[in-house]
Structure formats: structure tokens, C-alpha cells
Structure 1
Amino acid sequence: MSQSRRQFLNTAAVAAGAAVLTDSAWAENQAALFPVSCNQYSWITFYAREGRDWAADQDVSLTEFASTGIKAYEPAFNHAEEVTKLLPLLKKHQLVMPSVYVNTSLHQADEASKSLESVLAIADALKPAGTKIIVTNPNPIKWGSGENKSDIELAEQAKNLDKLGAELKKRGMSLAYHTHDVELRAAAREFHHMLLATNPSNVSLCLDVHWVYRGSGNSQVALFDIVKLYGKRIIELHLRQSKAGIWQETFGEGDIDYPRLAQMLNDLNVKPHLVLEQCLEKTSPKTMNGVEAHKIDMVYVKKVFGV
């Protein structure tokens, strides 16, 4: 599914009107709001199952999104122009955007330079939205392959990740490192090096709970060990649940003990931004649509995290 995610993010350009955002009060108020958010990718998977395209008409899509009661949206951006097009629709639907997801390629110097330029342009375009967290999952050598990065490439990637985080910090934003399952291969050396070789003041962690669980062989032991090791760096959680290893339609009880995770973070006095990403895969149940599912998601999030 990580391949599908990347393909979706690379092709799902934000299609909306390019009106200029003029309501300064709406924009200024966003910086203080960190309600439970939802990533666009979960909606992409629900729409795809119905033969629909999430990006085809963003006004219609965000109308359905807002009907769930979710107040915050985490989209993915490839270009700064996409930000400008989305802002008027967020205003229209009274959605805030505390965090966004961006694509980067950081393990080769020439590609990294282009990625940093692109992300910083996106960050500058986000200023009217009051966005505070930029999440990135650096590209692997090739999506879907078993090839791991060399030590030299890992060192280059960590250097560029730290540099990007430092530049975003100057803009009042935090960089959150995200992983899929790829980074957990080979003794999780890529995952650990990105955190051990970067400055915590520059690079925080977006813990994608289920990808860490799945990437470590469906292991809660590994998941909770990572929380023990890096819990203080967790600034955001991506929330997904499975049963018998299969992603479910709704966020609820299942393979991962989320109440335990919530308690661990509370004990660390860590209050991450919560982002729903309850996606579908081929073997997921098929009993409801995206609006119905996300309404149920919100009930369990509030129960577990007390928000």
C-alpha cells in the first residue's frame, strides 16, 4: 500500500479555484487551533473503492469531509501552487490545516536540493493558513523494491532532513519525520539513523502507528519500544487500526492497544497532534462509505485520547 499512497500523492493535484484568501481573521485564528485532523489519503482510498476521484472536485470532496464533524484537514502537497488553490476552499468549509504532508527525496544531494527548495516554497505558501507541522517521508530508492539505502545515502538523507527542519524552524514550523514499513527493514537502521543523526530541535517524529507495527512484523513490542526510545520527539500521530493484520474501515479496538499508547504518551507529558488515517486495502471490510466511517472514527478517538 505504500506504493499506492505515493502514486496517489503524486497524481492527486489539488483542483480548486485560485481565489485570493482575504479573511485575515479566519487565517490568524487557525494557528491556535489543533483539533483532531484527518489525512486526505484515507479519503482517497474510500473514494477509489467507489470508483470516485477525491481530487476531481475538491469542493464536493471537502463538503463530504466537513459533514463528518472533523474540523481539521491534512492534505499532501507537491507544489506551492496547490496550496494557493486549496486555501479558499478551507475557508469556505471552515476547516483548519494544522499540518500537511509533503514529498521529499533526500538521500542524493542533487535531488535533495530540489526537494528542500520545493518544501520551503510550500511552507511559505502555507503562511496564511497558520500551519505548524510539515510531515515528510523521504522517498526510498524505489517504491516497491527491496533495495536499502547505503550508509552514505543514509548520512546524506539525515543531513538534509536536519537542514530542512532548521529552515522550517525559522518559519515557525516543525518538521515531523514519517515512515512507512520500508524504514523498519534491516534492523530499522534507516528509521533509527534519521532520529539519532538529527537535532531534536529540528526534527520531530510523526509516529505512523500502524506502519511501525506492520513494518516490525506486526509487533506491539517494537511499537512501544519506539515510544520508549523516542516518545519525547513525537509531535504527531497517524492513527489506523487493523484486525488480524487487515486494515479496518473504522478506527476502534483491534490489533494495536491504543489506550496503552495514549497512557504512555500521557505519562511522558506528550500531547501530539492527532491525525486520522484509517485507510482501506484490498482485503478491508466493505460495509460503509467514507462519511459514515469517519464519524465512527471520531467517537473512538475522543474515547481513547480524551479530546
Structure 2
Amino acid sequence: MSQNRRQFLNTLAVSAGAAVLSEAARAEQSAAPFPLSCNQYSWITFYARDGKDWGKDPDASLAEFASTGLKAYEPAFNNADEVPKLLPVLKKYRLAMPSVYVNTALHEAEESAKSIESVLAIADALKAADTKIIVTNPSPIQWGSDKNKSDEQLTRQAQNLDKLGAELKKRGMTLAYHTHDVELRAAAREFHHMLLATDPKNVSLCLDVHWVYRGSGNSQVALFDIVKLYGKRIAELHLRQSKGGIWQETFTEGDIDYPGLAHALDGLGVKPHLVLEQCLEKTSPKTMDGVQAHKEDLVYVKKVFGA
């Protein structure tokens, strides 16, 4: 009997250990792949409202950034020379850089070659930072113009996007396609073609939630349809909220059902990199500075996504 009892207790101990391991494994699976980041553009808009220049003193700017409790930063780079200038400041404030934003022009042959070369040089410079995601929004024909790209230009752009993604993949990086509202014009032909004409192994999606919402006429139906269509390709989310169509100072409850979005992504088994980009526009409220606003952002992100 005592032997059976010992065997029984041993079985319980093993089972309990397995349960703990199972819970730990589930926690690991449910965790986001990278720490919550914040894009530099939101800070640019807060600084500009107060008559300040975010890029003038990177040390002072990132000191304020780090004071909010944010642990990761998503900057924008125009060329590879900018990367080594930023790395020491990030190290000083213990900020990770899991993703970066780069500009590209991919719809014309000559510009495309230069853009691809530039992005790959930036990627090589980022090796020391262990950056894993490069986000790009291929430029329109002209910013602020209502002119759409031709079918030939869209075909070329998709080919170049796929080519760039394949090269970044060789470097252990993911290319994430980003949009503003322009790509949602004309039956969203540019947006859909970039995803349908590229290999998912080479090109992922950075879903800028509010630009998709705004670009589709403030339609949550369109936003969630895009998640249904391309949700498995979402590597990153840009998080912004509005009320009555106006960007707010903080990421909080508003026009977009972010809890519903989090639930939809969970249902797909997708855990994208989360990047705050709670920007200001002319009609945004003015009740707090950037530090306070971003501290409040962290509270709501944790509530919705558990980050």
C-alpha cells in the first residue's frame, strides 16, 4: 500500500510539474515577440505642437521617451549613416529597436534600384541593434496628390517589394508593408495588389490600424475585413485611436474597437509586434504633454493586449 501511495504521490508531482510547464509554455506562446515599441512620429507631433524639434537633441528627446516606461523605439531612417549615430543613445537609455521605418520609392525602375540599395545598407548597419522588422510605405506618385499609380507601376512596385523582402529575409529580417490612406483609394487596388502579388514568405503586413480605418471612409467593417483577408501576414500593428474621426492625445477607447481587434488576432494565433503611434493633428485635443500622454498609452495597451 505504501509503495502504491508513493507511486501515486510521484505521479501527482510529475503531473503538477507538467501543469506548471504547460502554463509556462502557454504564457510564452501568448507573449508578444518583442517589447512594446513607440514610433518616433508621434513624438515629432507632440514636440512640434510645443514648438520643439524632436531631432535637435536626440539625447534629451530619448531621455523623455525612456521616462515614460517605454522600452523600445521605432525610428525612421533615410540612410545608413544615421544608424550608428543613434545606437549609443539607445544603449544609454536601455532602449531596444526591434523595428525601424524606412522610406522607399518602388514604382519606377531607376528610383527602385536606389531605394533597395539604400534599405539594404540600412539593414546591414542595423545588425548591431538586432533589429528584426523593417517597415516601409512605398511612396505615392506625389504626396498630397490624388493621382493613382498605373497598373504598370503597381506591377513593378510589387515586384520590387518582393525582391526587397527576399533580400531582407537572407539577413534574418522581415519586411512589413505599411500604408496610409492613399493605398485604399480606387477599390484599394494598390493595397490589395501589394499583398496578392508578393510572396508571404518575403512580405508581411504592418497594419496601421487607423490609416486603414480612415482610408476606407472611417469603416470598421473594412478594417476587420482586411484582418480576415490578411491577418496571418500581420507582423506589426501601428496603434492609434480617434474619437469622432479626430486623433486623440492618448491611446484609449474611441472609434476603433481595439479589444475586438485583439480578440480577432488571438483567434488567428497571430502575435504582432505592437508599436504605439498616437499622433496629433490640428484638431486634436491639447490637455497634456507627450510624456504624460505616453504614460497613459501604456496603461490602455496593457489592458487591451496584455503588453
Structure 1 length-normalised TM:
0.89
Question: Where do residues 1-307 of structure 1 align in structure 2 (5 Å cutoff)?
Answer: 34-307=34-307
TM superposition shift of 1:99: 0.1
8 Å Cα contact 1:40/1:73 also seen in 2: yes
8 Å Cα contact 1:77/1:100 also seen in 2: yes
CA distance in 1, matches of 2:54, 2:34: 24
CA distance in 2, matches of 1:33, 1:272: 7
CA distance in 2, matches of 1:197, 1:33: 27
> Counterpart of 1:192 in structure 2: which amino acid?
H
Gaps (5+ residues) in structure 2?
1-31
8 Å Cα contact 1:100/1:133 also seen in 2: yes
* Identity %, equivalent residues: 82
Gaps (5+ residues) in structure 1?
1-31
> Counterpart of 2:296 in structure 1: which amino acid?
I
CA distance in 2, matches of 1:119, 1:220: 33
8 Å Cα contact 2:33/2:272 also seen in 1: no
8 Å Cα contact 1:79/1:118 also seen in 2: yes
TM superposition shift of 1:33: 7.0
Secondary structure of residue in 2 paired with 1:236:
strand
Secondary structure of residue in 1 paired with 2:235:
strand
8 Å Cα contact 1:33/1:96 also seen in 2: no
> Counterpart of 2:126 in structure 1: which amino acid?
L
TM superposition shift of 1:306: 1.1
Please identify runs of 4+ aligned residues in structure 1 that moved more than 3 A: none
Map Cα deviations across residues 192-231 of structure 1 (whole Å, 9 max, x no partner): 0000000000000000000000000000000000000000
TM superposition shift of 1:34: 1.1
8 Å Cα contact 2:33/2:273 also seen in 1: no
> Counterpart of 1:240 in structure 2: which amino acid?
R
8 Å Cα contact 1:141/1:148 also seen in 2: yes
CA distance in 2, matches of 1:268, 1:50: 41
Map Cα deviations across residues 228-279 of structure 1 (whole Å, 9 max, x no partner): 0000000000000000000000000000000000000000000000000000
Secondary structure of residue in 1 paired with 2:250:
coil
Secondary structure of residue in 1 paired with 2:85:
helix
- Higher Rg of the two aligned structures: 2
Q: What is the RMSD of the two structures over their aligned residues, measured on CA atoms? A: 0.8
8 Å Cα contact 1:250/1:294 also seen in 2: yes
> Counterpart of 1:246 in structure 2: which amino acid?
I
Number of equivalenced pairs: 276
CA distance in 2, matches of 1:162, 1:33: 23
> Counterpart of 2:271 in structure 1: which amino acid?
K
8 Å Cα contact 2:33/2:271 also seen in 1: no
Structure 2 length-normalised TM:
0.89
CA distance in 2, matches of 1:33, 1:229: 22
8 Å Cα contact 2:72/2:96 also seen in 1: yes
CA distance in 1, matches of 2:52, 2:204: 35
> Counterpart of 1:133 in structure 2: which amino acid?
I
Secondary structure of residue in 2 paired with 1:103:
strand
Which residue does the alignment assign to 1:22? none
> Counterpart of 2:260 in structure 1: which amino acid?
R
CA distance in 2, matches of 1:73, 1:261: 23
Map Cα deviations across residues 165-196 of structure 1 (whole Å, 9 max, x no partner): 00000000000000000000000000000000
Map Cα deviations across residues 140-169 of structure 1 (whole Å, 9 max, x no partner): 000000000000000000000000000000
Secondary structure of residue in 2 paired with 1:80:
coil
8 Å Cα contact 2:258/2:304 also seen in 1: yes
Over 3 Å counting, the alpha-carbon distance change for 1:80 and 1:274 in structure 2 is same
CA distance in 2, matches of 1:79, 1:196: 29
CA distance in 2, matches of 1:255, 1:102: 28
Secondary structure of residue in 1 paired with 2:83:
helix
